[in-house]
């Protein structure tokens, strides 16, 4: 298993399939994009499947989330999902996507064995979407969400980041829309993972701000820590019904003590935390023909050294060198 010195056990693997993205969200990367990883530096499909196999069969991983950049840009995605679905034991598989391209791939991904999707959508207004993402693709995301629901990649979860001066007042409208369409909405506090290092704690839209806004229109009943488990989202029952809304307060209410994640970057590095400044290289071991047990040993050692917390409340906190698009969400 992947245990650390604080007794936490990682059972959830986040796999970044590419650092590339077809949006340019203001809270992630600059308008001109980034210097992408060279193709030889990326893990091959076979290497990705092998590392997931090691994680599942030797290290106790039970859930795999495919991320990016934008994972739908990975040409071999459907084949990777199909091969991971054939592993014994079979892990639960999900995908975090911006939804562009999901309309044409949702059915194939479901047939390959994908269980569900998380789709990023920060606004219901096409003009605000264009400002936030620097791309006019709002309609494509809405159609992708509909395709995911039709393909039964459920529950379909929608992730929203609220930004001051842009969409900070949209929380109630987003929740009403999610309830109407049977999506599970989760708000995520903006995190210091932008490539341009422009994040500032002062002025950010906090979990408290979001909940106060939602309560102007909805009755929210806290679900409780027992239901939450190790999930990052605190959830509330909406108007006493069957729908839930979540808030991931990574900055103001960090949940590091219950973290059960390990992360694999698109170029084969283990990251113990989104905000880590250190990585452990598995690609070199793979390409030097190391046996599976040696790779598992390296991975265990990396996770053993995981820090107690992300350190966001430390005034000396320094952002990671790699932005969200290179790490995976």
> Do the annotations mark residue 25 as ligand-binding?
yes
Q: What is the DSSP string of 224-263?
A: -HHHHTT-S-EEEEETTSS-EEEEE-TTTS--GGG--EEE
Pure H helices in the chain: 45-58, 77-85, 102-112, 126-133, 138-150, 171-181, 207-214, 225-228, 283-287, 292-304, 324-327
> Do the annotations mark residue 307 as ligand-binding?
no
* Residues 92, 52 contacting (CB under 8 angstroms): no
> Do the annotations mark residue 206 as ligand-binding?
no
> Do the annotations mark residue 261 as ligand-binding?
yes
* Residues 237, 220 contacting (CB under 8 angstroms): yes
> Do the annotations mark residue 27 as ligand-binding?
yes
* CA gap 53, 229 in Å, rounded: 25
* CA gap 52, 41 in Å, rounded: 18
> Do the annotations mark residue 259 as ligand-binding?
yes
CA angle at residue 25 from 22 to 27, to 5 degrees? 145
> Do the annotations mark residue 14 as ligand-binding?
yes
> Do the annotations mark residue 134 as ligand-binding?
no
> Do the annotations mark residue 120 as ligand-binding?
yes
> Do the annotations mark residue 116 as ligand-binding?
no
Report how far apart the first and last C-alpha atoms of the chain are (Å, whole number). Answer: 22
Other Cβ atoms less than 10 A from the Cβ of 319: the count is: 16
> Do the annotations mark residue 21 as ligand-binding?
yes
Phi first, then psi: what are they for 299, rounded to 5°? -65, -45
Bind-site residues for GTP: 14, 65, 96, 157, 261-263
Can you say which residues are annotated as belonging to the binding site for [4Fe-4S] cluster? 21, 25, 28, 256, 259, 273
Residue ranges of the annotated binding site for S-adenosyl-L-methionine are 27, 69, 120, 191
Annotated binding-site ranges: 14, 21, 25, 27-28, 65, 69, 96, 120, 157, 191, 256, 259, 261-263, 273
């Amino acid at each position: 298993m992947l245990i650390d010195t604080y007794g936490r056990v990682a059972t959830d693997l986040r796999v970044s399939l590419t650092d590339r993205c077809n949006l340019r969200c203001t809270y992630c990367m600059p308008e001109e994009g980034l210097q992408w990883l060279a193709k030889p530096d990326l893990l091959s499909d076979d290497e990705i499947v092998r590392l997931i196999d090691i994680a599942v069969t030797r290290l106790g991983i039970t859930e795999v989330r495919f991320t990016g950049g934008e994972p739908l840009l990975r040409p071999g995605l459907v084949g990777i999902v199909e091969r991971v679905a054939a592993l014994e034991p079979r892990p639960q598989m999900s995908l975090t996507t911006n939804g562009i391209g999901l309309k044409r791939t949702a059915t194939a991904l479901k047939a390959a064995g994908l269980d569900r999707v998380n789709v990023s959508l920060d606004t219901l207004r096409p003009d605000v979407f264009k400002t936030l993402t620097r791309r006019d693709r709002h309609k494509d995301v809405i159609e992708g969400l509909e395709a995911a629901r039709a393909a039964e990649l459920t529950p379909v979860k929608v992730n929203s980041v609220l930004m001051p001066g842009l969409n900070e007042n949209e929380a109630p409208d987003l929740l009403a829309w999610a309830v109407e369409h049977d999506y599970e909405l989760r708000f995520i506090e903006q995190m210091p993972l932008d490539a341009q290092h422009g994040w500032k704690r002062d002025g950010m839209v906090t979990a408290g701000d979001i909940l106060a806004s939602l309560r102007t229109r909805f009755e929210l009943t806290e679900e409780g820590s027992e239901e939450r488990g190790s999930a990052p989202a605190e959830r509330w029952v909406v108007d006493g019904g069957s729908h839930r809304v979540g808030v991931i307060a990574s900055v103001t209410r960090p949940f590091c003590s219950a973290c059960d994640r390990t992360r694999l970057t698109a170029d084969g590095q283990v990251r113990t935390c989104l905000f880590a400044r250190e990585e452990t290289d598995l690609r070199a071991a793979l390409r030097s023909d190391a046996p599976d047990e040696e790779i598992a040993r390296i991975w265990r050692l990396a996770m053993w050294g995981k820090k107690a917390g992300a350190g966001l409340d430390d005034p000396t906190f320094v952002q990671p060198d790699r932005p969200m698009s290179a790490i995976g969400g």
